[in-house]
Structure 1
């Protein structure tokens, strides 16, 4: 009878985010495969856990060969706990080959749920989270990175990118060139750690923030999706059926964001950025929807008034 592969979500910073179940699994697993065995020992010491099984390393350079060993142990009935330095194994971390081998062999795979920098950054970004795409780490070489970003420039879903501190400035410059200076983005650094920092700006502002700065720690970038094409002119002419339908859609999108947990200000900003229309137009659509009236107005250029 085969054993079970348990993917263990590790804290991304604050050890108090570890679940009691994580400690239980690490304590009783027959084998604990860790990206860094020293960091594993520090984690278990902080949790007050004693590992009773065998500890082996499983990192990028040895994962292919380690997968064969772990699969043999799983087939023999062992419980194998797979843990990386932070977050969820196989998500921009070692583990994919092990999981794929176990799944192909019909070995049960389960998970101890835990924090992920991807979902944490999305949650705090204030950007739309109903549809998003994870790009992971961009190519290291500048030419390949720029080519990838050109391909992504039209992506309308919120985009999540991981980046190393020493490449951050160059990546933000390339993002600005490919996506445009005014694309909204959020930079999340050292999430849940002592020096956590969240910087909200457009891409040009973030690029300026990063230039000449000695940035350290783990970086997660959340970038707004490409705005929808400009609405037909008729949708911006007050009193027309097209304008009324467009206003109803705007109000519904704001309400959807608020229902998902955004503040009114954040929801207005998200819908404004998505459609590339004045904030006041979106605000009027919300007011009209609540009052049952029609307070939409035509857009003749410039910034329409609205709430600050």
Structure 2
């Protein structure tokens, strides 16, 4: 699995429509689902929760849970759907997640995480990975992160993705936990110095492709989250910068145009227009017509009877001279 560049799993954001859109701009980035709980996988509408388009490969399923048996069963189901990787969330700090005894609070239970990884590894043939924080609350990351990594590696984890901030389980909201605790990229590089032959990926606060590239160093990969979602035009630069290959589209406008047949197919199956177009609002930056594009989609896509023509009409508001976005400063 090539992990040089990945787009982070983000709740309410990286659904299948978002991932299809992102894939139009990068063939090579590793995509992740939103976190799906084991209860939802085992008891819920699996096609709705886990279904994805073949074009989304390579794609990883992120699971939330803390029961090794349930995680193993969910991993089996995910592998059956065709996912290329199963990832365990040990980083989400929300109260709801803590109440379910999973996410970042599992940093306090490395043995349970290791048991969960071992159970999933025994259940599937695809890679099993873990996404974690550098610690929680008053933990010392220099002690906790290195011990945690050693334990999950010994259990068979195929890679570790590290969000290079602590999570505060009490006192900070999930949004604040993505912004307030200071970033510590250096500790992730030191961790890699210990595990030279084990894939380690850096996540957290990376705001541009250039910053991600500059922080790659000795690591196996970088993962962008909000920067990739809120300003998706950046993704056109992923394949040239990280893989030495041409981007699949020449411009952000071409990516938007390529979404129209997808929108038509999905709406024919009953999907609401706004469920798709909400993911493309940040596609244009510093381009004449960008604001009109966003405004048109925001107003018209939510109206009853809205069709794919709304996307075409919004796109017509962007000037035709718009070319690739690589010249725009980060």
Q: Normalization by structure 1: what TM-score?
A: 0.27
Structure exhibiting the larger radius of gyration computed from Cα positions: 1
Between Structure 1 and Structure 2, the one with more strand by share is 1
Normalising by structure 2, we get a TM-score of: 0.25
